[in-house]
Structure 1
């Protein structure tokens, strides 16, 4: 193996020759350009040919030196057919997105290459990992060294704006989180009046005659209404009174999120391609939010609740752009995550009557009464079913961070991936919960199966992250779990059975969050 010193020597000699040729070629005084006996050997074409040699040996020296200094080992690398730009990776990713099997493709790569590996994306090296110890470092123990950046930040800035809590770091992020946090104190989350109002409207929209309904569509409308009601005190009323304006917003918002997220997975160069439809969708979303804020701020009911996020934003003197960005971010957190999880759960329950029976047996103790917050917390099987859904189909299934400095991750180095791994400043690290949550060495040989009972004994830490972890842990976690449990309980207090009305396989659309490509077409039979 060529040594670090050998690469350094070749790099240095190449640099000297290239610089000497450049000086000889561009000095204005012809007499000064005469370098004695060296002059005949300073050939421009040789200098040009040495440029890739200089770059290659410089890169090899950098990595060998870094591994020595940081006491790390090289990581495994995706077997590129194009080792310069990684176009083959981008083609594979594009095919995976179009076939709706990108996550499964990554699963296969983790199985064949290792739980951490490098790949190229338009000339930039990216680390893909599903190691719990690495995620602990990224999200918690070295939080400040791993901010949101790169294409991940570009994605959220395009769709949500530069001030959204998902777009920013540091002090601005801390201020935004502090403003949101009081909305999710226990007494506000445990007050189910807001939830009940929207869940009852949702149930009323479900046919009683056994006809098919796309439950996913209703769930997204319901969670939009309940999230805006809870956080802003002024519901969009999409489920009760859908309008052309709200429909246009929903379509535009979904399109903007999907296109920008797809670009992030394809790489930075995809952002250089103009997209008029994306730009139009973003402007449509902004206009809708601006009109919504104007209506909400004129509503005197805003003052009746003890704490409203929108009211605090308006009182803070924040600009309209800042308010708009925060509201769009909250809509993703409040609408998409719960609707995505519940859609996957009901799709599964329609095919698993045994689990439906266990849920109904557990909630029978209510004797038809609506559950309290304490009841919801006590329903062990309902919560295990939700936990299992979040394991297999986490709404935010992939995410990334960008190294703010040269650093080290605890896993990923060496052929077995168990040694420390050096990561240079500016490197993006992406992880996949779809792969992590299906690791058989963590969740058992039946890791791909939907089995809520595994949570009776299974205890996890950084192996299970549907709500992320560390300082950026989802602040609305308890709100989401309460809402989803309430929906499940009320639906199965109202209906006896749920059956599938679509035999197509479960496929997911990968946007900022996941959704079911073919919807959730089911039918219910009333109790």
Structure 2
């Protein structure tokens, strides 16, 4: 059957009308953005990094190459030193602003918190972490945070029994004859044991299993968890190009992680089945230890939701403290003077296990941890997506001091690692590990080891307390700490940052 010839003009007119509407919409948006930028005295970011100004493929390639060669953070630092504290690039069709200005970071994370979101993070993080505190915005994020917060109040964090019980397991795995040991591997075992006990009420006892020589899934879990995070980092760097890369090993690693967490999902569902709300209300006046696992089970019986939330808190509880301890002991082993000075302060405890208040009063220990978090922040870089047209306070104009217009859908990436190495904040020796600098430092947003604003790390006091406790107990036990790694610190960057070669040391009484 022949088509009506009159349909062709109608179709052309409709297409032309749609094109006109689209064009006018774009023009109107550009005019509105121009007026908005002018109203806020914005100036453009002058430095545009890629040689490819349309898709930024060269920058994507440079980042992938740098990550494969374990110099991703150092490469980014070099760009800041060449181009200034704020510059722009592209990731395919998406504009990107990269900054290490504290004022900008404060604006993104706090002052204009509602102007920014996590964007498409769920697409890259989701296969491992699902929908949880690290992958969601809005009500879901607020609910996740509200459930985990009670686990980290002072009354809970100040109970150090968990840490002390695990110290005997840790010490049993450290040779005392000067033989080399990788503390990083042991720290990750220690922190998964403490995190599962503290958050879920049941430790996986990876250190005990290692001592007894029992074949354990936890080592497989550690390997799988690390690889799954590497895959997330890779997908984040290549952006939408990730659809062209399949990684069966990443899928296998994610399954290993989910399988380990399933034991806690079952525990939560069993608790929920036996949970008596009326009895819980009657017992409300009795002070009981809050467990995230139980709080979660009281809120939902959705197996997937429980698994996702557990994966998110396990990432935080295991990786944050282990990374801090590993990076710090790598540097302490390279600096015998600092280790000796730290032991002098710890000697005031006369060999006794410290209380929570005593830990807080060990000033030089605090300096050592601060300096480690400055040089090697656990989460060294991050990003937000503009949900609306907005403004950054600095970075524009030839001198980089004017406000910058940020169009909706722009990625704003901020580097804590590079910000922590600014010599105008930390002095000409900013690349050195020197805890004494903290005697005079009172930093603001230029020091950001645990994020800031409404999404500030809810478990930071737990992480600092655990790291401090382990450090004190090791300092009481061993007078000599020597590095067994001839090279400098090298980055191993997934979602968190630790030493590529571990923390290979020898310890002696």
Q: Please list the CA deviations of residues 335-359 of structure 1 after superposition, one character each: whole Å capped at 9, or x if unmatched.
A: 1111111111111111101101111
* Aligned match of 2:205: 237
Deviation digits for residues 101-136 of structure 1 (CA, Å, limit 9, x no counterpart):
111111111111111111112232111111111111
Distance across 2 between alignment mates of 1:512 and 1:325: 17
Q: Match for residue 147 of structure 2?
A: 179
Alignment of 1:270-289 (within 5 A): 270-289=242-261
Q: CA deviation at 1:284?
A: 2.2
Secondary structure of the 1:106 match is: helix
Residue matched to 1:523? 506
Q: 1:267 to 1:77 in 2, by over 3 A?
A: farther
Q: 1:298 to 1:59 in 2, by over 3 A?
A: closer
TM-score by length of structure 2 reads 0.89
In the alignment, the residues of structure 2 paired with residue 222 and residue 249 of structure 1 have an alpha-carbon distance, to the nearest angstrom, of 14
Change (3 A) 1:112 1:66: farther
Of 117-126 and 349-358, the range deviating more from structure 2: 117-126
Please say if 1:228 is aligned against 2:200: no
- 1:332-411 correspondence to structure 2 within 5 Å: 332-411=315-394
TM-score, normalising length: structure 1 = 0.86
Q: Check conservation: 1:195, 1:483, Cα contact below 8 A.
A: yes
C-alpha separation between the residues in 2 aligned to 1:135 and 1:464? 11
The answer to whether the 8 Å contact 2:209/2:216 transfers is no
The 5 A counterparts of 1:253-272 are 253-272=225-244
Partner of 2:431: 448
Q: How many Å apart are 1:297 and its aligned residue?
A: 6.4
Number of the residue aligned with 1:148: 118
CA shift digits 1:483-524 (9 cap, x unpaired):
011011000100011111121221111100012111111100
* Match of residue 55, structure 2, among 79, 85, 90: 85
For residue 412 of structure 1, report the CA deviation from its aligned partner. 1.2
User: CA, structure 1 residues 87+362, in 2 after alignment: closer, same or farther (shift >3 Å)?
Assistant: same
| Residue aligned with 2:63, SS | helix
CA distance in 2 between counterparts of 1:296 and 1:81 reads 53
Q: Name the residue aligned to 2:138.
A: 170
Note the C-alpha offset of 1:145.
1.3
Cα distance in structure 1, aligned partners of 2:234 and 2:200: 30
Query: What is the match of residue 131 of structure 1?
Result: 101
How far apart are the structure 1 equivalents of 2:164 and 2:247? 41
2:404 to 403, 411, 421: 421
Partner SS state of residue 98, structure 2: strand
Cα 1:60/1:113, change in 2 over 3 Å: farther
Question: Residues 429, 271 of structure 1: CA spacing in aligned structure 2 closer, same or farther, 3 A cutoff?
Answer: farther
Structure 1 residues 35-58: Cα deviation after superposition (integer angstroms, max 9, x where no partner):
xxxxxxxxxxxxxxxxxx999999
1:210 aligned partner: 178
Aligned to 2:156: 188
1:493 aligns with 2:465: no
Q: Report what 2:187 is aligned to.
A: 219
User: Gaps spanning 5+ residues in structure 1: where?
Assistant: 1-25, 35-52
Residue 293 of structure 1: CA displacement?
3.0
Alignment of 1:292-307 (within 5 A): 292-295=264-267, 306-307=289-290
Aligned residue for 2:76? Answer: 106
Stretch moving more, 341-350 or 58-67: 58-67
2:301 aligned with 1:318:
yes
Pairs aligned (count): 482
2 CA distance for matches of 1:184 and 1:190? 9
Q: Is the 8 A contact 1:148 1:169 kept in 2?
A: yes
Instruction: Indicate the SS of the match to 1:241.
Output: helix
Q: Distance in 1 between matches of 2:12 and 2:235?
A: 49
8 Å contact from structure 1 (residues 398, 433) kept in 2: yes
Alpha-carbon distance, 1:464 to partner? 0.6
Residue aligned with 2:150, SS: helix
For the structure 1 residues 452 and 406, does the alpha-carbon distance in structure 2 shift closer, same or farther, using more than 3 Å as the test? same
Shift of 1:246: 2.1
Structure 2 residue 464 is the aligned partner of structure 1 residue 464: no
SS in 2 for 1:522: strand
Greater length-normalized contact order (CA 8 Å, ≥ 6 residues apart): 2
The range that moved more, 382-391 or 277-286, is 277-286
Q: Which has the larger radius of gyration?
A: 1
SS at match of 2:468: helix
Instruction: Say if 1:404 and 1:360 are closer, same or farther in 2 by CA, change over 3 A.
Output: same
Deviation at 1:62, TM superposition (A): 7.8
Q: 1:59 to 1:119 in 2, by over 3 A?
A: farther
Paired residue for 2:460? 477
Does the CA-based 8 Å contact 1:67-1:74 persist in structure 2?
no
Q: 1:31 to 1:524 in 2, by over 3 A?
A: closer
The answer for unaligned runs of 5 or more in structure 2 is 14-22, 281-286
